[in-house]
Amino acid sequence: MAQIYFSKFNINSEIYKVYDDDGLKDKILKEVFEKIDENTRHTEREKRRGEEEKEVTYKFCNLIKNSKNKVICGRLVKIYEGEIQSYDAKNDTVITSNANNCAASSTFYFDLKSEEIAFITRNALGYNQFNKYFKALVEKYFKDITFEIFLENNIGELKEKLYAMSRILSVEAVIIPPNANRKDFARIFGPSEEEVRESGATKVISKMEVSAKSKNALNIGTSYFDRILLAIKKDMLR
């Protein structure tokens, strides 16, 4: 049975304008809905372990758009040169040959109202690759807008794993201002919200650590870590 992942689709470069203009987010998402197509391609060179660097192409295919519900279904496909195997019944063996049109695809369901993407993965196309190249493809439709796509987390399971650890030496958080509203932003950053906004930053990296040589450990049962977990819950952390 395939495992379904959920990622949050976030407007990044224009986030402060989105805060100030209630209609801007909907306008951008409407453009995303209209512009996503099956013709645009993103190509780069990748190197897999033990292999030479090869050209890999990503694109959307099999798109179905529901304009009423603002939903897009389809596939993100990775096209690459690789090996394929077939069974030779006469000689009872497996034949391996090279092909330049190998493909791995992830079926997805993109709900632009909730700004969430549900998708499945393949062996040659994991969730990190899906998020990276979905973002790369969407950004090709815009000159001045960038996006962030990051995996949503099960906050309850994460808490259990954190509190089960005997010793934590370091925690680093990369926080991205959400599409939602500035109240969530303020709850996490408190009085520093305006400072972050004035700087024009669209990411805030926070790191706390103790020396590995000491006997001390980070205490995660504090208000700071409660805010970090809140950020994860609000889809602001990646």
State the DSSP code for 38: S
CB 129 within 8 A of CB 149: no
State how far Cα 187 lies from the chain centre: 23
Q: Quick one: pLDDT at residue 233?
A: 57
Q: Quick one: pLDDT at residue 191?
A: 41
Q: Quick one: pLDDT at residue 197?
A: 76
Instruction: Tell me, yes or no, if the pTM score tops 0.75.
Output: no
Q: Quick one: pLDDT at residue 171?
A: 62
Three-state secondary structure call for residue 51: coil
Q: Could you tell me how many residues make up the chain?
A: 238
Query: In degrees rounded to 5, what are phi and psi of residue 140?
Result: -65, -20
Q: Which residues of the chain have pLDDT under 70?
A: 1-2, 15, 49-50, 153-193, 204, 208, 211-214, 220, 228-238
Q: Which structure tokens are listed for 213?
A: 């040589």
Q: Quick one: pLDDT at residue 237?
A: 46
CB 188 within 8 A of CB 236: yes
